[in-house]
Amino acid sequence: MAKKGGMPSYKTVDDYIAVQSEEAQIMLQEIRKIIHDSIPDVVELKDKKVPTFVLTPTDSKDIQLMMAAYAKFVSFYPFPGTTEAFAEQLKEYKQGKGSVQFPFNQPLPKELIAEMVKYRRDELVGF
């Protein structure tokens, strides 16, 4: 039976991660750590439906990076410019427009994710 009502908003990234499956929690925490290690002054936005990160200081706090858990994978959303720039390295992963799926049964490509996070930040600041 399908869930009724809209997707809930979570007060914090921790709140979102806490209600996910154990496999998803592990991957989400790993991706979160990669984001924070790559961009130490990253800001986690509050009251969002999925974990949302701001990589550069802006007045509008635009959504600049996201991640979300699903039944068999975690999606990482570095947006189209970044996924296009890393198309060759991402070819073994299922992708959407500006997103990439990391299945639970495969190790995370941590170095690649870190490179994409830094690329996305540079893309935003115009490097």
The pLDDT of residue 2: 44
Nearest-5° Cα angle at 106, 98 to 51:
45
Q: Structure tokens of 24?
A: 């998803």
Q: Give 92's pLDDT tier (boundaries 50, 70, 90).
A: very high
User: According to the model, what pLDDT value does residue 60 have?
Assistant: 55
Q: What is the pLDDT of residues 29-70, one digit of tens each?
A: 999 999 999 999 999 988 789 999 998 876 555 668 999 999
Strand partners, 100: 76, 95
> Residue 126, Cβ neighbours under 10 Å: how many?
6
For 54: left if phi > 0, alpha if psi spans -120 to 50, otherwise beta; the answer is beta
Report the alpha-carbon distance of residue 100 to residue 111 in Å, rounded: 15
pLDDT of 109 higher than 90: yes
Q: What residues pair up with 54 in beta bridges, in sequence order?
A: 43
44 phi and psi angles, rounded to 5 deg: -90, 125
**21 to each of 17, 68, 82, 86, how far by Cα in Å?**
8, 12, 28, 28
CA–CA separation, 51 vs 17, rounded Å?
8
pLDDT at 28 over 70: yes
Domains and CATH numbers, the chain: 13-125 (3.90.1150.200)
Q: What is the DSSP letter of 7?
A: P
